Structure 1
Amino acid sequence: MREEQPALTLREVLANVHGSAITMLVPGRDAAVRGLSFWDGAPISPGRIVLAPGVIGEAERCAALRTASRQGAVGLVLDPPAQDRVRDVASECGLLLAERVPSLAWDELAAVLRERIALPSSRSDRAPGESLFALADAIAALLGAAVTIEDIGSRVLAFSSEGGELDAVRMSTILSRRVPDDFISFFRTNGALRRIMAGTGPFVTETSLGETRPRLVIPLRVGVETLGSVWVMRDSLPDDELSAALKTLTHAAALTLLRWRMQEQGAREHHAASVKALLRGDPPSGRASLAGMALPALPWRAVALRNGTGPAADVREDEETLGDEVALWTALLRRNGWAEPVIAIAEGAAIAVLGAGSHAGGWDWLRAIVSRTLPADGVTVAAGRAVAEPEGLPTSVSDAVHVLRAGHTGIVSYDDVWPALAVGHAMTALLPWVPAPPIELSTEPTVQERDLLRTLNAWLDAEGDIPAAARALRIHPNTVRLRLTKLRARTALDLTTPDSRLVTHLWARAELARLETPTSS
């Protein structure tokens, strides 16, 4: 049976359309969005965003808000401007109130919102696809010149197949799918990039780099947001007739970029939700869904990642900080060859799922990257145990978080520090219930008594090997023997039995930790 996809919340829907498709006036309550409806007097299904073209009057708009609220809608979108009383009623009802941006027709807005509301079940393509290439060819045919379409990061998304003479920068741009750095720097200096972001309309920019020809630049803008630009090998602005046709084509290109960005965002959200479910031991669609998550080969291990200074506990529980941590590590892992890192927030930490080996996504690979590229201080890579089945992953997550919160830094594996972790947990859990052994010591031991305790602990660590205990303490073996003799004079405890050695060893460690931990007033 096909499993129903989880609905996006209103806040998630608005994250990518506010400013570009709608202008939010009243945020409303964050609720699950189940779909889109047009206001036509018919009953509204719960969880719908309602589009209300033609609803103009203040009284009519207030009545529409109250009706939509009673029927379980989550928001209402109107033509601008919205009256103050309408905003007040939206706040009273707890509904989203938004205005359509004038540059989008109602059918275009509906298409954009429907795409955003539909959570994808798998990743979308990385590029906008054939539609942008077709638009680039159409613009080239209209203006009789070569065309490239770029995003706001100067990445080339599409280019025309025709367009006459080429220059060196166009050839380099197409081959690398990115504008050369020296040209980006030049266009930043001459103000071209600033004019693109301002979205003031088409303009011609000259270049002084080599024999590069001038460019006609058309910002791609939806609402108040710039999404990219069109670059044409042309040294003049088009006339009025060409401008009208060009505006239609560039508007279509801007809508294509907006839809692609929403698809990318939806795919990222779905991927993050799937990883979180996997870390909980509950993949959303069962084991069959794992194949689409770009997971490394089993066995897996969870790895807690932290890049910062100070105790690990200082940055836990902070969702914004953890989100930045995930973004930082995702970028680092991608730059080093892992196309889709499996990383999410779990148990208050940034957790990645890695496989074995030295290939991208493997534990040995990550250790090599961290050792080579990150500073030794303040970075923690804490790995849980390796698990052979997906069901064991939550245990590995718990291991990794325990290692992280124990205060270790650098590259640390649960396998390496398990004994210390186990003893620490045992002392924390058991010692409040274990009475002190019958050894005559002061309530606050003197310096000499503390030396006796350290010697007892070292002798038990060394399993009764006096020379080994002496080496650990950096004293002569005869000094160890002398101190043990003094201890025997203070107790009738028989340390030849396993039980007495075990509990005395735990007590000695806890007592030394108490005495050597600075106290604050």
Structure 2
Amino acid sequence: MLDIRAVIERVGPTLLRTVILPGSTDCVGDVVIAEPDQSPTVAEGDLVLGVAVGDRDAAVRLSRECGAQGAAAVLLKPPLCADPAVIAAAEETGLALVEVRPGTAWAQLVWLIRAALAGTAVEDTDTRSPGLGDLFKLADAVADVVDAPVTIEDAHSQVLAYSARQDLTDPARVSTIMGRKQPDDVLAKFRARGTFRQLSKGSSAIFVPGQQDGTLPRLVVPIRMGGELLGSMWAVVPGEVSVERSTAFADTAPLVALQLLRWRAVADAERQRSADQVRQLLEGGDRWRVAASELGVSHDPHRVAAIEVSTSAEEAEGHRLAMWEWITRGVGRRPLVTEVGNVLYALVPDRPGPGGWPVLRDALTAAEGQAKPLVAVGTAVGVADLHRSRSEADELLALLRAGQVPDRLAVYEDLWHLLVLNRMAGAATDAGVASLGPLPLLREHDRSQGTEYLNTLHAWLRHPGDPRTASHDLRVHPNTFRYRMKRITQLVDVDLDDPDVRSALLVQLLAARWARQR
């Protein structure tokens, strides 16, 4: 247990300065926030923070009441802590009076004092534990300052942390905490009221009145650093909040911003490490076993999904990840991802249930009309062959970009035949097959005379013995189709009754057509 002197020493002189310290001090019990216009209820040894104390009379009254109840100290900011009347009141009751340095966030002070009382090194709490656990502790401290349940959210309204106390709540808050994100219908209501527009512009706390559907009032403060909006804090309040407490709530934002930056740095480092290991899996080689072991990837079949979103280069990196998080919300454990160039690759288990390919496919199909990503998915393979699934996904993605697949989702099992044609076209083009046989003469005739003989021959080869279907593909009359075929046999010497000749011509025409589309 620590006395007041030890607490001040642990928190440090940059935040606290002793104004009055009695000769003998008892051990400190807990930290209490003084309520505005209310007599404090404190226990012996408590530290009382005058968060909402706004004038001399209130400070004097607080000092006397706390001293009478056996509190250890009252903490005030200048100029109240230096006021002679306040000092006299503290001396009369044997109360320690401590100055809280200007600019100190009350939430930071609550956080650090509780860390000191719990036996945690202040320097560790303050600088070396940037994980989400610190954000939860910080949410508790902020909740004490504003006297209301608090959530800390990122710029996409994802809940990063929330205070332990959730005594004042409504269905929207329950859904937010359970889903770790504000529901879309709740977000729409706050957008309609202009709450997010105010958050993007200012830095002070925003009061949002209660709504007719039972949503309780909110006090919201933006969290920003260097002009960047990192997120926001939301407190559920019973009604209008005093200026002092609202200001104290807003004053906690810089501390939370610092923690968010540190948390983001750790999260980014972990994400980068995971992305590097996923990239090793997709590339194959000698290190795939190590990467699979470190990522905890089972040897069950997996698929590789390649995702591309139409967006500017400046927005691409964050936009792809945000879009992917939005699509995969509610599918269970999110697939492992990595970025290569401008493509996001996801490693998806090929199994039913949460996080598996069938659930993810449903999510991708449902999201097509909104997020509008191009998504190509390779076949299911073992972990050692993920490079093959990735290669198939890349090929399918190229077909999506070229418009050779009418949908925005391309899956190997549905479109393997297009991969056959694509690879055949590439091989045939490299081998120079387009220059063989009668096709160069027909191609030149089409170019110089404006005819459609190559397309006509292609339709005839695709529908042998069925001129009506072939003419329908070309959108011409069957007699026109028959006339064109007669002219082709007059222009070039080719035996269309020979099945090998027909096969060779079809390969040439398919290769030429696919080569133009690649």
Tell me the TM-score range normalised by the shorter chain: 0.5 to 0.7
Partner Cα separation in structure 1 for residue 503 and residue 459 of structure 2: 13
Shift in CA distance, 422/237, structure 1 to aligned 2, threshold 3 Å:
closer
State how 1:349-498 maps to structure 2 within 5 Å: 349-356=343-350, 359-375=353-369, 380-388=374-382, 389-408=385-404, 409-410=406-407, 411-413=409-411, 414-431=415-432, 434-437=435-438, 443-445=444-446, 450=451, 453-462=454-463, 465-466=464-465, 468=466, 470-474=468-472, 487-488=488-489, 490-494=491-495
Query: For structure 2, which runs of at least 5 residues remain unmatched after alignment?
Result: 1-102, 109-120
Match of 2:302 in 1: 300
Aligned to 2:173: 173
1:370-424 deviation digits (Å, cap 9, x = unpaired): 4434339976433334433334344334323332344233133341412431343
Q: How does 1:238-387 map to 2 (within 5 A)?
A: 255-281=258-284, 286-290=288-292, 293=295, 298-308=300-310, 319-320=313-314, 322-323=316-317, 326-346=320-340, 348-356=342-350, 359-375=353-369, 380-387=374-381
C-alpha change, 1:300 and 1:325, in structure 2 (3 Å) is farther
Check 1:342–1:377 CA distance in 2 against 1; reply closer, same or farther (3 A cut): closer
1:50-107 deviation per Cα after TM superposition (whole angstroms, max 9, x unaligned): xxxxxxxxxxxxxxxxxxxxxxxxxxxxxxxxxxxxxxxxxxxxxxxxxxxx9899x9
Aligned sequence identity (%): 22
Contact 2:168 2:237 in 1 (8 A): no
Within 2, Cα distance between the matches of 1:113 and 1:498?
Answer: 78
Aligned residues: 380
Deviations 1:419-464 (A, max 9, x none): 43134324432336733439975943499995654454334334xx
C-alpha change, 1:476 and 1:491, in structure 2 (3 Å) is same
| Aligned 1:91-106 pairs, distance under 5 A | none
Q: 1:314-347, CA deviations, whole angstroms, 9 ceiling, x for partnerless residues?
A: x7xx744542552353133223525424344336
**1:165-222 Cα distance to aligned partner (Å, 9 max, x none):** x4444x863674277977996799698995897445xx79585668999888887777
Distance in 1 between the 2:326 and 2:194 partners? 32
- Per the alignment, do residues 296 and 455 of structure 1 end up closer, same or farther by CA in structure 2, a change over 3 Å counting? farther
Quote the offset at 1:251 in angstroms: 7.4
3-state SS, counterpart of residue 444 of structure 1: helix
In the TM superposition, residue 286 of structure 1 has moved relative to its aligned partner by: 3.5
Larger Rg: 2
Letter in 1 for 2:291: S
| Alpha-carbon distance between aligned partners in 2 of 1:255 and 1:438, rounded to the nearest angstrom | 69
CA contact (8 A) 1:150 1:158 kept: yes
CA contact (8 A) 1:149 1:229 kept: yes
RMSD (Å), alpha carbons: 5.7
Match of 1:471, SS?
Answer: helix
Query: Under a length normalisation based on structure 2, what TM-score does the superposition of the two structures give?
Result: 0.53
The structure with more helix, counted as a fraction of residues: 2
Match of residue 162 from structure 2: 158
* Conserved? CA contact 2:308–2:342, under 8 Å: no
How do residues 198-217 of structure 1 correspond to structure 2 at under 5 angstroms?
A: 198-199=202-203, 207=209
Does structure 1 conserve the Cα–Cα contact (< 8 Å) formed by 2:350 and 2:357? Answer: yes
Query: Alpha carbons of 1:375 and 1:320: their partners in 2 closer, same or farther (altered >3 Å)?
Result: same
Gaps of 5+ in 1: 1-101, 117-123, 309-314
SS at match of 1:375: helix
Structure 1 residue 508 displacement after superposition: 4.6
* More divergent stretch after superposition (424-433 vs 448-457): 448-457
